[in-house]
A and B are shown apart, each in its own frame.
Chain A
């Protein structure tokens, strides 16, 4: 089993295609949509947690790429600018996914990007503007 959080960018021509349906039907993959938006005349964006057997997962991703969907790992799109973070810790209890914690020794804030669900609440909450989104 493999599970990854990925960001899909759909070009205009694919917006009306049942892409996710094919991932389930043809590749037996599980999905959980964390975020989705389609802008008229522009592209579609979807943040998915995708899981399944490793071979199916690989083929599913290959199918997406063949179709013209741009894929990125979510962790590449929600980023902490370390030089800006003051390690105050105000993000820790606010994040609904528990993606921030404080290291008990260093008292520094750790960002677990694998837990991030891209809700973007930290982007506005962070007093130092250390969290950035690049969808």
Chain B
């Protein structure tokens, strides 16, 4: 009943009707699905959580004389970057740590500074110290380089994240009798707390559960600027169990995204330290959902009460990959501050900021309303339920 071309025409004429994925819930309850579908053109989603499989690549420009970083060693503020390309291209992973970081030698390690912090500082416009050593060649004779670099001088600075915006996630608990430190935060013994990590009813892929409108080529809010979905993310698992309403009740789909780092903002790309675990990058992502028909809107209007997450023990079941799930809870229950697990009332904590997710959905809404952001038709779909695409465990084949 509505095409993306029609929506873009309305954006140009500044007549488009945009609401956030949170606002649309009440709207549908009040006005009904049919009427809201007629009125609303776009629903904006948002999420702001730690996403470890993130990073950025840079072309720093050739020095005089020239140097070949590829095959050498390259560090940004002491954090090693991956130098395994041509002369002056490097990739910095969010979770990279300085060689002299003690890790978990003094347990739990604090992981105060890593790749994600370098990315945040670079985006904030701070100078970063680059140190490289490599071998010389006839065409690239130089073997050492030490210089300050700044994002404004780099030829390219591109955020390129291979797995972001998980469609649903575990609720982490600890059944053991000692404190454990995980990527889901510190978990107190004997079900002391339960930590979750999803924006729930605001989260992009939960509002388009079968990837009808979100696909390869979709233009998005990324790190405070504009980015694109370029592929399904690693560990994409569309065949994960789903509830009757179609919403996955386990970690399912994921996104790979890209965007020019130079137009992003440090506020939406935050270096993050998880005690006893490591460094991660908290990424802000917002995806617009075009209201093509009633079915698209019906999913976009699903609320926290109807989205369920699995509760998983991170003392044994997660590390040992047993696949065991202790139960399921809704995001409405998680956000109430307490859930009940095995007959015990357990306080909840988040890792994904709902307040910031809301800000992202609002920001994207205002970009579209102001005629600054246009919607895109996917170039190709993400692998869906029918594709049989799945995320597998490693089948180890011992080498000796």
Contact = CB atoms under 8 A, between A and B. Distances in A.
Interface of A: 86-94, 102, 106-108, 124-125, 127-129
B350 A127 contact: no
A86 B188 contact: no
Contacts of B223: none
Contact of A91 (B108, B349, B356): B349
B19 interface: no
Contacts of A94: 185-186, 188, 193, 349
Nearest to A98: B347
B188 A89 contact: no
Q: Nearest 10 A-B pairs (CB), nearest first?
A: A93-B193, A93-B347, A89-B350, A87-B355, A107-B354, A127-B272, A93-B349, A107-B355, A90-B185, A88-B353
Given A86-B353, A90-B350, A125 B270 contact: no
B383 interface: no
A96 to B, nearest CB: 10
Given A90-B195, A91-B349, A106 B355 contact: yes
Contact of A124 (B195, B275, B337, B350): B275
Contacts of A88: 49, 282, 350-353
Nearest to B357: A107
B348 interface: yes
Nearest to A127: B272
Given A127-B273, A128-B270, A93 B348 contact: yes
A129 B273 CA distance: 8
Interface centre among A91, A94, A129 (most CB of B within 10 A): A94
Given A89-B350, A94-B193, A129 B112 contact: yes
A88 B272 CA distance: 11
Contacts of A129: 112, 273
A131 to B, nearest CB: 12
A92 B188 CA distance: 12
Contacts of B347: 92-93
A128 B353 CA distance: 12
A86 B48 contact: yes
Contacts, number: 72
Contacts of B337: 92, 102
B72 interface: no
B275 A125 contact: yes
B121 to A, nearest CB: 13
B185 A108 contact: no
A86 B186 contact: no
Interface residues of B, number: 33
Contacts of A102: 337, 350
Nearest to A91: B349
Contact of A127 (B194, B282, B354): B282
A87 B282 CA distance: 12
Nearest to A103: B355
B293 interface: no
Nearest to B108: A124
B282 A125 contact: no
B358 interface: yes
B286 interface: no
A93 B351 contact: no
Interface in B352-388: 352-356, 358
A127 B355 contact: no
A89 B282 CA distance: 14
A93 B344 CA distance: 15
A36 B389 CA distance: 58
B110 A93 contact: no
B124 to A, nearest CB: 12
Nearest to A86: B353
B355 A108 contact: yes
B98 interface: no
A90 B282 CA distance: 14
Contacts of A86: 48, 270, 282, 353, 356
Contacts of A107: 335, 353-355, 358
Contacts of B49: 88
Contact of B192 (A87, A91, A93): A93
B50 interface: yes
Contact of A89 (B108, B112, B270, B349): B349
Contacts of A127: 50, 185, 272-274, 280, 282, 351
Interface string B106-145: 0010101000000000000000000000000000000000
Contacts of B356: 86-87
Interface centre among B272, B280, B347, B349 (most CB of A within 10 A): B349
Contacts of A91: 349
B185 to A, nearest CB: 5
29 contacts: A87-B353, A87-B355, A87-B356, A88-B49, A88-B282, A88-B350, A88-B351, A88-B352, A89-B349, A90-B185, A90-B195, A90-B351, A92-B337, A92-B348, A92-B350, A94-B193, A102-B337, A106-B355, A107-B335, A107-B354, A124-B110, A125-B275, A127-B50, A127-B272, A127-B280, A127-B282, A127-B351, A128-B270, A128-B272
